[in-house]
Structure 1
């Protein structure tokens, strides 16, 4: 984001711009290589998993307010590192997700996988 540019609010692009400006202001771009960012992302994902370890399915859906607040911040960390990694690599996350959904629609046809966990090839 250039000085004077207004960030796009409530969008992935706006978040990307804000995170880039945040890193630029602190001279952190030098540390934000795809390697470092992806390592940080996986570490944050592991912290998210810790909140659910040993919970049954129902308990994982009904977290107490304090635990949900902690999970919310872990999800934010994951999103931040994901957006920064994509920015460093020039990946449009929305386009990539749309492409992946299209691939999954082919790999997992509704008539073969509806209500089943696993790959269509397994059925």
Structure 2
């Protein structure tokens, strides 16, 4: 997704919410709770799928459609929260990736799931 596409989507979300007068409900606390609850719904779709079967399960038509819908909800909630807080989502992700590069250098992190204490 390009930055232009992300901006157009954000403008579409703003219009959608303005038409419904939902901005009054979109304070940071409520948007954070929305994000958490939508992420929980995404998690629930995969909760009892064995790890070894998760990729195959997610490729099946019906689960894939349900996963895509929940991912859409998570993305919308995250964009709305970023918009409300004035946080550039792409910049926040780029910045975090740079911090993670420094925190988890390849020579120490490759193939490991454990984290060393700082």
Q: 1:33 to 1:116 in 2, by over 3 A?
A: same
The alignment status of 1:86 with 2:114, answered yes or no, reads no
Farther off after superposition, 78-87 or 64-73: 64-73
Q: Which runs of 5+ in 1 are unaligned?
A: 1-7
Match of 2:41 among 36, 47, 68: 47
Q: CA deviation at 1:58?
A: 2.7
Match of 1:34 among 13, 19, 28: 28
Q: Counterpart of 2:65 in 1: which secondary structure?
A: helix
Q: CA deviation at 1:39?
A: 0.4
CA RMSD between the two structures: 1.7
Q: Which runs of 5+ in 2 are unaligned?
A: none
Question: Aligned pairs, how many?
Answer: 114
* Higher percent of residues as helix: 2
Q: CA deviation at 1:118?
A: 2.2
Q: Which residue of 1 aligns with 2:67?
A: 71
- Greater RCO, 1 or 2 (C-alpha within 8 Å, sep 6+): 2
Q: CA deviation at 1:62?
A: 1.2
Q: Counterpart of 1:106 in 2: which secondary structure?
A: helix
Match of 2:95 among 94, 99, 103: 99
